[in-house]
């Protein structure tokens, strides 16, 4: 009998049938969560309409450019809810029992759902790498020019920047525009092995010379400090700076690390390591980014067996279970991320620890349920 059913219902047909069922609750959950989040954010930003500058079009534009970021945030919950909904529906209408009786193992029935989740994770990672970062820049521009205007706002300009150029070189700049390759009102201090100041260069400008591939001081004074507390000063019009880091290799922006792509985080980590700055905060966020797809998959695998045990119970129970599992997992990830960013936990453990812990739980869960 088992072999007869297998011939009548090919495994490929079951695969495509279950995969198609996944997308309906997935897009429904995405639509509901996205509507709630975007509407809440839009109404919060509408309080700026009374400032005499902001228009409703500005609020709408801001909501549109931040929409992909919200989508990436809610996709894991939508995947979990869709996975549990598909399985619970198959259980309630007898399809699950029929498939198992026909010789299909539960893991075979889980497989199309897992593939769908992996596809969503891959698309989410592409969005976070290539779509969301430039949109975040545009969102900041709209926010600081239309919603909460700042005079002479330049999204590429950073003010009052202190950069550790090398282990014993500190550079202060009143204004830095790496896109243009310029720094204004700079002071470069070079220290000796005892951390006493040995040399200092103060200049009105420091610019990146693309032809010479080096930084150039413009209109300043170079000071050399001797052990006898004497100072030798030399004014100059132009002077090569002892800084060999290109503008595109520097990472000094105040953009929150949780909004940065893996490429941007890698750039910041390299800059920090090259200059001797602790990089555990950026490294932690990079590992969290890399572990995110696996975290989503583990979270869904944790909830999918639960849907089998609910049988004919209310779908509300599935929704509640999805939210409990998701927020428990997110709480652990957030806690480990915070601890890792503050340097109290190895960045790799902070990023991959929750995945490893819940992965072990999933392993024993499947073993206990004989799935």
Q: Are 108 and 287 in contact (CB under 8 A)?
A: no
Task: Give the rounded distance of the alpha carbon of 280 from its chain centre.
Answer: 15
Report d(CA 275, CA 277) in Å as an integer. 6
Phi, psi for residue 192 in degrees, rounded to 5:
-90, -170
Token output for 145: 């020019």
**Cα distances (Å, whole numbers) of residue 300 to 173, 234, 320, 358, 364:** 48, 67, 14, 11, 15
41, burial (CB in 10 Å: exposed 0-12, middle 13-18, buried 19+): middle
Q: Which two tokens stand for residue 205?
A: 């400008």
Residues facing residue 234 across a β-bridge: 222
Instruction: Grade residue 4 by pLDDT with cuts at 50, 70 and 90.
Output: very low
Q: What is the pLDDT of residues 301-330, one digit of tens each?
A: 988 887 776 554 556 676 677 678 778 888
First to last CA, the chain: 22
pLDDT in tens, 225-279: 886 667 889 999 999 998 888 999 898 876 678 778 999 999 999 988 888 788 8
pLDDT of residue 309: 67
Give the list of residues 6+ apart from residue 368 with CB closer than 8 angstroms, or none. Answer: none
**Residues 206-233, mean pLDDT to the nearest whole number:** 90
Mean pLDDT of 164-170: 87
Asked if residue 157 lies in contact with residue 176, where contact means CB atoms within 8 angstroms, the answer is yes
Indicate the domain borders of the chain. Answer: 2-149+282-369, 157-249
Residues in Cβ contact with 59 at an 8 Å cutoff, skipping those fewer than 6 apart: 42, 45, 46, 48, 49, 147
Cα–Cα dist 184/30, whole Å: 47
All residues at 6 or more sequence positions from 126 whose CB lies less than 8 Å from its CB, including other chains: none
Cα 99 off chain centre by = 40
Question: What is the pTM (predicted TM-score) of this model?
Answer: 0.84
> What would the pLDDT profile of 251-266 be if each residue is shown by its tens digit?
887 667 877 899 999 9
- Output the average pLDDT for the chain: 88
Where residue 155 falls among pLDDT bands split at 50, 70, 90?
confident
Q: How far apart are CA 369 and CA 362, in angstroms?
A: 10
Distances in whole angstroms, Cα of residue 282 to Cα of each of 261, 331, 338, 343: 11, 20, 11, 11
């Amino acid at each position: 009998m088992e072999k007869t059913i297998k011939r009548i219902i090919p495994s490929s047909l079951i695969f495509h049938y279950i995969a198609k069922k996944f997308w309906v609750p997935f897009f429904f959950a995405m639509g509901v969560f996205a509507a709630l989040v975007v509407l809440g954010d839009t109404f919060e930003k509408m309080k700026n309409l009374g400032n005499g500058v902001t228009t409703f079009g500005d609020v709408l534009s801001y909501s549109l450019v931040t929409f992909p970021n919200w989508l990436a945030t809610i996709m894991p919950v939508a995947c979990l809810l869709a996975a549990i909904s598909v399985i619970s529906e198959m259980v309630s209408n007898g399809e699950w029992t029929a498939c198992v009786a026909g010789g299909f193992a539960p893991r075979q029935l889980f497989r199309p759902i897992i593939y769908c989740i992996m596809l969503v994770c891959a698309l989410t990672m592409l969005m976070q790498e290539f779509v969301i970062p430039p949109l975040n820049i545009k969102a900041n521009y709209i926010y600081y020019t239309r919603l909460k205007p700042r005079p002479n706002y330049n999204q590429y300009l950073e003010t009052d920047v202190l950069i550790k150029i090398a282990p014993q070189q500190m550079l202060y700049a009143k204004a830095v525009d790496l896109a243009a390759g310029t720094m204004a009102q700079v002071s470069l201090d070079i220290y000796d092995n005892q951390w006493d100041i040995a040399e200092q260069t103060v200049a009105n400008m420091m610019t990146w010379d693309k032809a010479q591939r080096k930084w150039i001081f413009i209109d300043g004074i170079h000071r050399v400090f001797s052990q006898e507390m004497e100072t030798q000063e030399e004014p100059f019009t132009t002077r090569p700076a002892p800084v060999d880091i290109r503008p595109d290799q520097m990472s000094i922006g105040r953009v929150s690390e949780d909004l940065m792509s893996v490429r941007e985080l890698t750039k910041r980590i390299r800059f920090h390591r090259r200059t001797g700055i602790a990089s555990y905060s950026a490294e932690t966020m990079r590992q969290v980014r890399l572990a995110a797809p696996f975290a989503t998959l583990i979270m869904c695998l944790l909830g999918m067996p639960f849907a089998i045990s609910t049988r004919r119970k209310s779908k509300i129970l599935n929704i509640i279970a999805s939210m409990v599992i998701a927020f428990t997992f997110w709480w652990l990830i957030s806690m480990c991320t915070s601890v890792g960013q503050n340097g109290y936990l190895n960045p790799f453990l902070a990023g991959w620890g929750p995945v490893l812990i819940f992965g072990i739980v999933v392993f024993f869960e499947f073993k206990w349920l004989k799935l």
